Amino acid sequence: MTDHVLIERPEAHPGVQVIRFNRPEKKNAITRDMYAKMTNALTVASSDPAVRATAFLGTDGCFSAGNDMADFLAFAMGGSMGIEVIEFLKALATATKPVVSGVDGLAIGIGTTIHLHCDLTIASERSVFKTPFVDLALVPEAASSLIAPRIMGHQRAFALLAAGEPLTAGEAVDAGLIWKIVGADAVERETLALAGRLAKKPPEALRIARDLVRGDRSDVLARIDEEAKHFAAQLKSAEARAAFEAFMRR
Ligand code: COA
């Protein structure tokens, strides 16, 4: 495993586990190894009483540029997609303790859809949320095709997921994708403080409140699988391969 994802338990915030993207040279693009490490961290969080909240963070000016394009291309060329991304999405969707995220800058593809599974997201004003799935000849993932229309309505979900229109941080707040905006230099501090406050609450009451607010997740899990079938088929298409090759050639 690489250190492209760091798992931390900051002393200043007891009960908080941080999952930090740490691949700034590749805009925190997420590889199969990185998904596996994050799944493991989420699994540990569910069973370890010392973890009461998880916080996703990126690096200065970049949360994540989404799935690694080289991994997409490898699959398009006949390789295995692996199960890492689906395992990660399911671990995230079924996480039993609060998950928060802090975004500064780029949030692309799964770097955007991940927040649909977070309970609270803080972002800097300069953040941009975008899912260019269709431009890459792909389809929405992470059950975003189910959750996004529910929270933001058809038109905004279509603009984001099908038309690939970017959302500013302000638009993301209005759409209900994220909770609030802070200065870029405050994202990490505020995200950790928020997770720390959640970690101090009575855990059983918080678990029940969270379950009630989120509702049953079986439809979310089913949609992750349904989207994944289309996603895998499209990844093998000539139009997707052309898009990945064009990106790699830039
Ligand atoms: N997968 C793999 N590598 C990626 C990547 C991704 N998703 N996004 C960025 N990178 C790499 C670039 O290839 C480049 O690597 P290099 O320096 O070895 O050439 C490095 O990160 C910096 O990216 P660059 O494109 O030079 O930075 P930029 O500021 O000009 O643009 C983005 C940033 C994110 C807008 C642009 O890189 C991009 O569009 N990335 C693809 C995003 C995407 O479509 N993700 C999949 C969603 S489903």
Give the alpha-carbon dihedral of 227, 134, 106, 122, to 10 degrees. -50
Q: Whose CA is nearest to atom 13 of ligand 1?
A: 26
Q: Which residue has the higher pLDDT, 175 or 81?
A: 175
> With 70 as the cut, is the pLDDT of residue 103 above it?
yes
Q: How far is the CA of 39 from the centre of ligand 1 (A)?
A: 23
**Mean residue pLDDT across the chain:** 97
The residue ranges of every structural domain in the chain are 5-248
Ligand 1 near 27 CB (within 6 A): yes
Half-sphere exposure of 181 (CA within 13 A, CB side): 14
Residues 6+ apart with CB under 8 A from 240: 72, 76, 136, 137, 138, 234
pLDDT in tens, 2-38: 899 999 999 999 999 999 999 999 999 999 999 999 9
Classify domain 5-248 at the CATH topology level.
2-enoyl-CoA Hydratase; Chain A, domain 1 (3.90.226)
Q: At what angle do helices 84-93 and 32-47 cross, to 10 degrees?
A: 30
Q: Whose CA is nearest to atom 44 of ligand 1?
A: 132
With residue 188 as reference, give the H or E element that holds it.
helix 187-199
Task: Spell out where 14-159 has E strands.
Answer: 16-21, 53-57, 62-64, 99-103, 106-108, 120-124, 128-130
Q: What is the mean pLDDT of residues 221-240?
A: 96
* pTM for the full predicted model: 0.98
Which string of DSSP letters, residue by residue, matches 118-147?
-SEEEEETT-EEE--TGGGT----TTHHHH
pLDDT in tens, 56-77: 999 999 999 999 999 999 998 9
Would you mind telling me the total number of residues written for the chain in this entry? Answer: 250
> With 70 as the cut, is the pLDDT of residue 1 above it?
no
Q: Any idea what DSSP says for residue 148?
A: H
